[in-house]
Structure 1
Amino acid sequence: MSAKLTRNDAAAAGRARNVLRGWREPAWGYAFILPNLALIALFFLYPLFNTFRLSLFQANMSGETFIGLDNFRSLFADDVVLNSLKHTFYFALIIVPIIVALSFTVAGMMKDLRPSSKALFRVVFYLPVVATPVVVTMIWAWMYNVNFGILNYLRSLLHLGPVQWLGTTSGAFFSIVIVVVTWSVGQPIILYLASMDGISKDLYEAAELDGAGPLRKFFAITLPLIANTTLFVTVTTTISTFQIFVVIHLLTRGGPYFSTETLVYTIYRTAFTSTEFGAASAQGVVLFVIIMVIALVQLRLIRSKA
């Protein structure tokens, strides 16, 4: 009996060692990523949770009062918020197709260049991404200047009068579109170029042997094989477009006549100018839900087509 118990104890001890050994390697992995997880929890998950919580309160510098869904009811009755939401959708509907089409076209033009030329253009197009939106926006602010901006200077060489690039509603809107496209198109170009370079040339050669022309090869080979890249570029560009803030704040501050105010800028004004943190949090929750729904719809549509 004692020998049998000893064998059972030894087997149990072996199983315990195997369990510990099985947990040891994953534990080391979790230990290495723990600092990053802590930062994510501190600077992302906690603010996200607190935003949802504050959206149910009337919160300002003096304190917090629970009011339930009143912030959301007043939000959808506020003309300023609805107007900024409309402009946000307008920006997305214009900017996202431009970036996708432009980046795809430029990448297609670069695909057959020599490696040295391709590397040079990669650097040129990626520079605005490295420069950050603030730097790019400040450069465009000087270019748009009515008195000494380079755009009006070029017009003067053609004996044309100066233009108030940011002084009219339509002019300011499309001026912001140009700035956003300038700093946003670099990364999609790099992604599309890498995706196109990954397509085997044997596929194009086989298609040519079957009598396929350039358009047939484009629609039958190139487009399907870069569908995942198009999906990624479309979703990420849509999310970033819905979060436009820097260019609005530095160039127009939502003007003229609130024609360029986006929902993110309205959240900023509500929180840090009016100090209505509860209302701003409700606006942030609405923006979060809109972005999530649009991203999910885009994922489903593009994947089904692919």
Structure 2
Amino acid sequence: MTSRERAAWGFIAPALIALAVFFVVPVVSSLLLSLTDFDIYALADLSNLRWIGLENYSRLLGNPLFWQAMKNTVLFAVFGVPLSIAASLGAALLLNARTVKWRPMWRVIFFAPFVTTLVATAVLWNYLLNTRYGVINWALTSIGLPAVDWLGDPSTSIPAILLFVVWKSFGYNMLIFLAVLQTVPDELHEAARIDGAGPFARFRHVTLPAIAPTVLLVSIISVAAFFQLFAEPYVMTQGGPAQSTVTVLYFMYEEGFKWWNLGSASAVAFVLFVCIFVVTMLQLAVSRRLGGEHT
């Protein structure tokens, strides 16, 4: 090994050690934990710990509540990801236009929800959506429409939380889109304008191809975020009504810290990891295929 190679390893060693200590070791430990019946009794005395293999996974797949949580999580992701991308990209396009006044102020306003404490904003939205004294229902009744039990009705609880999640998180993606939009050369838009292309045509044939990799990145980040929803349903509905907002991460929390089935909770974590990994691989495959068709 040359002196340069030793120096390189010396520079990256702290990062590798930190990665091993804070990621690899916990992940491997959690995987081993999912193959045991680690519970509150084993927590008190490790002699009560038993190796049960894949029994936690078989129980999990036979648990109706887990499948309800998976269904709710998929619904959040299927509707939330496109809404979040559309809202963030739309805001970025708006703020990238030179004709918009006070652009710095609007950027701060749009980004502010993302940096605000999640629990505080969730509690605020609980008041806004309240059936009796919420501002939203007051506005509906003032124009002659009936009040809606937004968080107490299974048919409206997911849309209500979804609206909150999109509002809370779209500012971060907006900044990513805004940064990449500013790298698209103005000459391309000017050439398309001279050729007679309208705003939609310029967006489709100039802007969208230029930001396609960023759209893929944002979609992957958004899918992972929606698959890991926890705090929003925990604060706003506690998984109700009728378990209509229980997510996989919320189910894992209850397994691990309400019922103290830590082995089962670890199994939920790895099932969730596999789901996110598979969806991410599908996104990458679709992106490559679409990219190949356009080349």
TM-score by length of 2: 0.90
1:107 aligns with 2:92: yes
Say which of 164, 169, 172 aligns to 2:157.
172
Asked if structure 1 preserves the Cα contact closer than 8 Å seen for 2:95 and 2:107, the reply is no
Hey, what's the Cα distance between the residues in 2 that align with 1:88 and 1:145?
24
Amino acid at match of 1:279: S
- Aligned-residue identity in percent: 32
Asked if structure 1 preserves the Cα contact closer than 8 Å seen for 2:151 and 2:237, the reply is yes
Say which of 111, 119, 127 aligns to 1:142.
127
Hey, what's the Cα distance between the residues in 2 that align with 1:122 and 1:38?
39
Say which of 32, 39, 55 aligns to 1:70.
55
Say which of 134, 139, 143 aligns to 1:154.
139
Hey, what's the Cα distance between the residues in 2 that align with 1:95 and 1:40?
31
Q: Which moved more, 1:187-196 or 1:112-121?
A: 112-121
State the number of aligned residues: 285
Hey, what's the Cα distance between the residues in 2 that align with 1:267 and 1:55?
12
Amino acid at match of 2:39: N
Structure 1 residue ranges without an equivalent (≥5)? 1-15
**1:6-51: CA deviations, max 9, x gaps?**
xxxxxxxxxx9xx32x1464255236xx2x5554434333221122
1:201 aligns with 2:201: no
**Quick one: structure 1 residues 209 and 157, their matched pair in 2 at CA, closer, same or farther if it must change by over 3 Å?**
closer
Hey, what's the Cα distance between the residues in 1 that align with 2:111 and 2:267?
36
Q: How does 1:235-250 map onto structure 2 within 5 Å?
A: 235-250=220-235
**How well do the aligned residues superpose, as a CA RMSD in angstroms?**
2.0
Amino acid at match of 1:121: W
Asked if structure 1 preserves the Cα contact closer than 8 Å seen for 2:233 and 2:246, the reply is yes
CA deviation after TM superposition for structure 1 residue 279, in Å:
1.1
1:26 aligns with 2:2: no
Q: Which moved more, 1:155-164 or 1:286-295?
A: 155-164
2:118 is matched with: 133
1:43 aligns with 2:25: no
Amino acid at match of 2:262: F
TM-score by length of 1: 0.87
Asked if structure 1 preserves the Cα contact closer than 8 Å seen for 2:57 and 2:267, the reply is yes
1:225 is matched with: 210
Say which of 34, 40, 53 aligns to 1:55.
34
Amino acid at match of 2:36: F
Say which of 166, 169, 186 aligns to 1:184.
169
SS state at 2:37 partner: strand
Hey, what's the Cα distance between the residues in 1 that align with 2:119 and 2:23?
22
Amino acid at match of 1:56: L
Q: How does 1:291-306 map onto structure 2 within 5 Å?
A: 291-306=276-291
Hey, what's the Cα distance between the residues in 2 that align with 1:71 and 1:44?
23
**Quick one: structure 1 residues 273 and 192, their matched pair in 2 at CA, closer, same or farther if it must change by over 3 Å?**
same
Hey, what's the Cα distance between the residues in 1 that align with 2:18 and 2:215?
31
Hey, what's the Cα distance between the residues in 2 that align with 1:233 and 1:289?
20
Hey, what's the Cα distance between the residues in 2 that align with 1:111 and 1:138?
32
1:13 is matched with: none
Structure 2 residue ranges without an equivalent (≥5)? 43-48
Amino acid at match of 1:148: Y
Amino acid at match of 1:171: T
2:45 is matched with: none
Hey, what's the Cα distance between the residues in 1 that align with 2:201 and 2:178?
20
1:212 is matched with: 197
1:94 is matched with: 79
**Quick one: structure 1 residues 147 and 38, their matched pair in 2 at CA, closer, same or farther if it must change by over 3 Å?**
farther
CA deviation after TM superposition for structure 1 residue 294, in Å:
0.5
Higher alpha-carbon Rg:
1
Amino acid at match of 1:253: Q
**Quick one: structure 1 residues 24 and 73, their matched pair in 2 at CA, closer, same or farther if it must change by over 3 Å?**
closer
1:6 is matched with: none
CA deviation after TM superposition for structure 1 residue 154, in Å:
2.3
Amino acid at match of 1:74: R
CA deviation after TM superposition for structure 1 residue 270, in Å:
0.7
